[in-house]
Amino acid sequence: MLRIDRRSVQHFDWMLITLTVMLVVIGFINLLSSTHALGELSNEARRQLISLGLGTIVMIVTATIDYRHFERFALPVYGASLLLLGLTLVIAPMTRGSQSWILEGRLQPAELAKVGMILALSRYFARNPPGEIQALRDLIRPALIIGGPVGLILLQRDMGVALLTLLIGCTYLGFVHIPWRAWLAVAVLGVATLATAWFFMFQPYQRNRILDLIDPGRDPLASGYQVNQSIIAIGSGGLFGKGWMEGTQTQLRFLPTQHTDFAFSVLAEEWGFFGSVLVLGVYLSFLIWGLIVARSSKDGFGAMLAIGVVGIFFWPAVLNVGMVLGLAPVIGVPLPFIAYGGSALVASLIAVGLLLNVSIRRYVF
């Protein structure tokens, strides 16, 4: 299973690795500034380096094993991720209103559950091609696959990660051929579900974040403080930024959670509009390359797996950038590679390993 095919080495995807290394390096440089402590390497930076080392090892192993073996073990991996989420509900302490972290805050099982979910979804859609799906009833099984982790994450009271997981699972819907009238019914059901969640599930702080999106100035010193400080930081960066470790909002700690959810705000303040566009350009190139890998895959499972990986990176990027710009509610979704987070970094590198696996075997069979 671990045998390395010579042709796989010959067709190694240097473009994917280069883009990944660029994003990881940018993220670490940004982390050094956002956690700067009198010239010393911060604890967050040390932990991120450890996570990077672990994630790199797992990525290499994931890329080495022929991805067709993952199709055979997709359901056991998915089941194990659900068990881990269920275990989290039992042993995890309540932290900042949610029950999402185990091993003394070092592991967030929801990050790994996303990978398990796309493996299971890729297996299903490889055997039931999206282009051949013509009715909503054909989506019942994938809906159940998505509903498992989303439901358990909701029980952990982590609404933002639950929404993100739902969106990642829905990435495949762009490839199904279902009449618009059916989608209209789904939209009506979605609105009804949101209305029910607003009155019976959302906590007061969650409602405030949505109201702040509509009216950013309604509570600038409390619920709207994070977004307002983020907008100030981004605006103060101007065209070319204030320079690394020179951002006033960052270094004076006016920007809350600046190394996690609002890491992109730090980047925008220090490197300005052009630096931000450059980083987003690298990110966009990464996503487009993932779609190219999916299109050129030689089998359905490989194509579906690559699409799922693109979804893992696309949706948090959209939500996070929208969040720091005040265009989306603050739901605690960090930007992959750029924001601090050990579990997120390891899970992201596993996803890269899967994409690399599909890419280097495009020419093997």
Chain segment 107-122, per-residue pLDDT in tens: 899 999 999 999 999 9
Encode pLDDT of 310-362 as tens digits: 999 999 999 999 988 888 887 888 999 999 988 999 999 999 999 999 999 87
Of residues 273 and 260, more confidently modeled? 273
365, part of any domain: no
Residue 204 has pLDDT above 80, yes or no: no
Residue 182 inside a domain? The answer is yes
Burial class (CB in 10 A: 0-12, 13-18, 19+), 245: middle
pTM: 0.88
The least confident of 53-57, 160-164, 209-213, 254-258 is 209-213
Residue 66 inside a domain? The answer is: yes
Structure tokens belonging to residue 253: 């700690």
- Is the pLDDT at 63 greater than 90? The verdict is yes
Beta-bridged to residue 40, according to DSSP, are 37
| Confidence check: pLDDT of 180 > 80 | no
Whole-number pLDDT of residue 233: 87
Q: Has residue 135 got a pLDDT over 80?
A: no
Q: Which of 6, 11, 3, 121 is nearest to 360 (CA)?
A: 11
In a domain, 340, yes or no: yes
Cα→Cα distances 337→154, 191, 219, 351, Å: 25, 33, 31, 12
Q: Which domain holds residue 31?
A: 6-360
Residue 195 has pLDDT above 90, yes or no: no
Give residue 1's pLDDT: 46
Residues 6+ apart with CB under 8 A from 17: 356
pLDDT band at 307 (very low <50, low <70, confident <90, very high): very high
- Residue 2: per-residue pLDDT: 47
Token pair for residue 8? Answer: 């796989």
Q: How many Cβ atoms are within 10 Å of 143's Cβ, its own excluded?
A: 12
Q: Are 336 and 344 in contact (CB under 8 A)?
A: yes
Indicate the DSSP class of residue 276.
H
| Residue 254, domain member (yes or no) | yes
Q: How confident is the model at residue 36, as a pLDDT?
A: 76
Flag whether pLDDT at 365 surpasses 80. no
Domain count, the chain: 1
Residue 13 within any structural domain of the chain = yes
First to last CA, the chain: 16
Whether 94 maps to a domain, the answer reads: yes
What average pLDDT does this structure show over 305-309? Answer: 95
What is the pLDDT confidence band of residue 305, given thresholds at 50, 70 and 90? very high
pLDDT exceeds 60 at position 4? no
Q: Is residue 1 part of a domain?
A: no
Nearest to 181, CA basis, from 131, 135, 129, 132: 135
